[in-house]
Amino acid sequence: MVILTVVAAWQAEYAGYAHAVAARGAGVPEASIAALATRKPPPDLPAGQLLAHRFALAVVEDHDVPDALYGEVVATFGEDGTVVLVTLIGQYLATSALLTCFRVPAPN
């Protein structure tokens, strides 16, 4: 969910395509994938995944995370889980930037 959120915000076509395929393979409903492609929370998203989606949106859209949201993430995922989440977001921010700069398209 987090990767699809980040790549949608950057409009990184190839990463969006590739991770949508992976999400489908993991059983993520098509409605959820479509919602994430528009940076909206999917219907019936479990609370932890919704929190991770909100956190990722704050990072990619606002370039900051409100203290209350950060505290909620730490309380839910712990310090180590928060580091993993931030690292994942950062990795896909960089990946998305490169794919977007080089105009890497999704396969037809």
Per-residue pLDDT tens over the stretch 61-70 = 999 999 999 9
- Domain containing 90 equals 2-101
Q: Does any domain span residue 106?
A: no
pTM across the whole model: 0.92
Q: Does any domain span residue 108?
A: no
Q: Does any domain span residue 13?
A: yes
Q: Does any domain span residue 89?
A: yes
Q: Does any domain span residue 87?
A: yes
Q: Does any domain span residue 107?
A: no
Q: Does any domain span residue 32?
A: yes
Per-residue pLDDT tens over the stretch 35-49 = 999 989 998 889 999
Number of domains comprising the chain: 1
Annotate the chain with three-state secondary structure: CHHHHHHHHHCCHHHHHHHHHHHHHCCCCHHHHHHHHCCCCCCCCCHHHHHHHHHHHHHHHHCCCCHHHHHHHHHHHHHHHHHHHHHHHHHHHHHHHHHHHCCCCCCC
